[in-house]
Amino acid sequence: MKPLSIPIVCKNMYTKDKKIKALLTGQACKIMENALGDKATTNSYKDFFDVKRNEIDEYIERNGVPTGSYKKLTSMKDGYYLIFENGLWGVYYQERNIVFSKKEFKKEKEAVDYLVTLLLNASGTGLEF
């Protein structure tokens, strides 16, 4: 089935900031379904989430990475981590106490950029930033 074009009113139902926050917090599907209803399954995320990586980076500079998207302290809980210890910023995903995709950075900005990339890739949208 050929995707229907998304009406402009639906695309504009959410601001770019809200769309970016949804991508970073795992809520992309939810807001697309809220805007498009049953037509959400016949349209692509690419058509609805009309944001670019530089806009995401600007959002992060203004607002930071949304709290709840990651953890700041080590724990046994599953999720994304941004931890500062021993003079380095560590970023990783942890599930069942197994660490994945861990990288360490000297600069916080580089660590945040990597965290944002992990969050965007995990959004389930297939979007490339």
- Spatial separation of the C-alpha atoms in residues 70 and 26, rounded to whole Å: 11
Is 3 a residue whose pLDDT tops 70?
Answer: no
Confidence of residue 99 (pLDDT cuts 50, 70, 90): very high
Mean pLDDT, residues 60-81: 95
Question: For residue 39, what pLDDT is reported?
Answer: 81
Average pLDDT over residues 49-58: 94
Q: Where are the domains of the chain?
A: 1-55, 65-124
Q: What are phi and psi of 88, to 5 degrees?
A: -130, 150
pLDDT band (50, 70, 90) for residue 10: low
Query: Tell me: the pLDDT tens digits for 15-33?
Result: 999 999 999 999 999 999 9
